[in-house]
Amino acid sequence: MKKAIEIIDSVAEKSESVILFHSASGKDSIALLDLLYPRFKRVVCVFMYMVKDLRHINRYIAYAQKKYATVEFMQIPHYDLFNYIKLRYMGISQDEKIKQYSLYELTEKVRAITEIEWACFGFKQADGLNRRLMLRTYPQEAINEKTKKFYPLSSYKNEDVLKYIEENKLIRPELFGKYRSNGAAVNDINYLLYLRENYPDDLRKTINTFPMCERLLFEHDYKKQHEYEISTV
The answer to whether position 185 is within a domain reads no
Total domains in the chain come to: 1
Name which of 92, 101, 20 is nearest 52 in CA terms. Answer: 92
The answer to whether position 196 is within a domain reads no
**CA separation for the pair 183, 190 (Å, rounded):** 12
The answer to whether position 157 is within a domain reads yes
pLDDT digits (tens, 9 = 90+) for 61-87: 999 999 999 999 999 999 999 999 999
The answer to whether position 116 is within a domain reads yes
pLDDT digits (tens, 9 = 90+) for 29-38: 999 999 999 9
The answer to whether position 143 is within a domain reads yes
CATH number at 89 reads 3.40.50.620
- 33 versus 229: the higher-pLDDT residue is 33
Q: Which domain holds residue 154?
A: 2-176
- Beta strand 72-77 with 119-120 is unpaired
Q: Is residue 184's pLDDT more than 90?
A: no
The answer to whether position 24 is within a domain reads yes
SS3 at position 168: coil
C-beta of residue 93 within 8 angstroms of C-beta of residue 62: no
The answer to whether position 127 is within a domain reads yes
Confidence class for position 183, pLDDT limits 50, 70, 90 = low
The answer to whether position 100 is within a domain reads yes
In sequence order, what are the residues at sequence separation of 6 or more whose Cβ sits closer than 8 angstroms to the Cβ of residue 67?
Answer: none
What DSSP state is assigned to residue 12?
A: H
